[in-house]
């Protein structure tokens, strides 16, 4: 089975063939095709999103702002460095981590902070985890982030946290057609085709007909405009049903 290529050149070629080229005259120039592709890319990013990318960023204690590149459309997730299952007392203030099961706070010897043979009971583990959650909320020490779409600045909270590395997953406005799934490629092509039909429809609707030997030949400008409008609406509904998350709605408490 031949490898299916999907790039800007292939999409433009498929559109022209679908509209009847080379046997029929398709009044679309190279500039028209470039504009059609640009509009389709912008429509895709606006309705579905750009190409998912990931980048590692380092920061130091006290630093809060991380500048992302200009192609960052929206941040999906910020993954901080892995830690042990839990940490005693205040996670952002101390580096001492206590794994479980394994070495746990002792309950038998009063001189040792960490027990040897003793194992923390499950109820004790739950209480420690609850205490850690409360302490993080009280001290606002739980790591969080916020992204400004205009300045492309990622803010890390709290700024006093320890130095480290974060993995930033974001949507890029540099749409890479080759990275799309097969289903995404098909929808993108269909929208680009609808945009081409609309452009061609506007061109052909300037004249209802043109003279030919023995009479006149009518043009299908209005048909292309109507077809393009119907296709765009169908594709808009399709991408929202297929790629958009279903909203979770709950009853508000009085």
Residue with tokens 């200009």: 70
Q: What stretch of H or E contains 77? A: strand 72-79
The tokens for 218 are: 């009518």
Residue 52 has pLDDT above 80, yes or no: yes
Rounded-to-integer distance, Cα 89 and Cα 112, Å: 17
Residue 246 has pLDDT above 50, yes or no: no
pTM, entire model: 0.62
Mean pLDDT (the chain, rounded): 76
**What are the structural domain ranges in the chain?**
8-50+175-243, 51-172
Q: What is the pLDDT of residues 187-233, one digit of tens each?
A: 999 999 999 999 999 998 887 666 656 656 667 889 999 999 999 99
Rounded-to-integer distance, Cα 200 and Cα 26, Å: 8
Rounded-to-integer distance, Cα 147 and Cα 169, Å: 12
Choose the most confident range, by mean pLDDT, from 38-42, 97-101, 210-214: 38-42
Residue 92 has pLDDT above 50, yes or no: no
Confidence (pLDDT) at 49: 79
Question: Per-residue confidence at 165, pLDDT binned at 50, 70, 90?
Answer: confident
Beta strands of 15-63 (E only): which ranges? 51-59
Rounded-to-integer distance, Cα 15 and Cα 21, Å: 9
CA atoms within 13 Å, Cβ hemisphere of 123: 0
163 or 192, which is more confident?
192
Residue 31 has pLDDT above 50, yes or no: yes
201 or 246, which is more confident?
201
228 or 124, which is more confident?
228
Burial class (CB in 10 A: 0-12, 13-18, 19+), 30: exposed
Residues 52 and 167: beta-carbon distance below 8 Å: no
Rounded-to-integer distance, Cα 184 and Cα 16, Å: 20
Give me the phi and psi of 211, to 5 degrees please: -75, 140
Residues 67 and 153: beta-carbon distance below 8 Å: yes
Confidence (pLDDT) at 63: 73
Question: Per-residue confidence at 141, pLDDT binned at 50, 70, 90?
Answer: low
Confidence (pLDDT) at 39: 96
β-strand partners of 167: 56, 79
Question: Per-residue confidence at 118, pLDDT binned at 50, 70, 90?
Answer: very low
Q: What is the three-state SS of 83-151? A: CCCCECCCCCCCCCECCCCCCCECCCCCCCCECCCCCCCHHHHHHHHHHHHHHHHHHCCCCEEEEECCC
């Amino acid at each position: 089975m031949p490898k299916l290529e999907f790039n800007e050149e292939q999409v433009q070629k498929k559109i022209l063939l679908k509209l009847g080229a080379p046997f029929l005259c398709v009044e679309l120039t190279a500039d028209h095709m470039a504009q059609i592709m640009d509009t389709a890319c912008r429509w895709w990013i606006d309705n579905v999103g750009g190409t998912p990318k990931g980048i590692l960023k380092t920061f130091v204690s006290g630093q809060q702002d991380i500048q992302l590149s200009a192609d960052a459309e929206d941040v999906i997730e910020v993954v901080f460095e892995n830690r042990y299952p839990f940490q005693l007392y205040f996670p952002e203030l101390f580096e001492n981590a206590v794994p479980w099961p394994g070495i746990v706070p002792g309950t038998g010897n009063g001189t040792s902070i960490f027990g040897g043979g003793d194992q923390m009971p499950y109820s004790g583990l739950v209480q420690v985890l609850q205490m850690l959650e409360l302490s993080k909320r009280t001290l606002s020490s739980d790591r969080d982030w916020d992204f400004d779409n205009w300045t492309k600045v990622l803010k890390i909270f709290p700024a006093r946290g320890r130095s480290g590395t974060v993995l930033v997953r974001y949507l890029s406005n540099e749409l890479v057609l080759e990275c799309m799934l097969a289903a995404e490629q098909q929808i993108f092509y269909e929208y680009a085709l609808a945009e081409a039909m609309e452009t061609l429809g506007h061109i052909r609707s300037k004249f209802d007909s043109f003279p030919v030997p023995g009479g006149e030949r009518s043009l299908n400008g209005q048909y292309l405009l109507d077809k393009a409008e119907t296709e765009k609406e169908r594709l808009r509904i399709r991408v929202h049903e297929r790629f958009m998350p279903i909203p979770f709605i709950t009853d508000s408490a009085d």
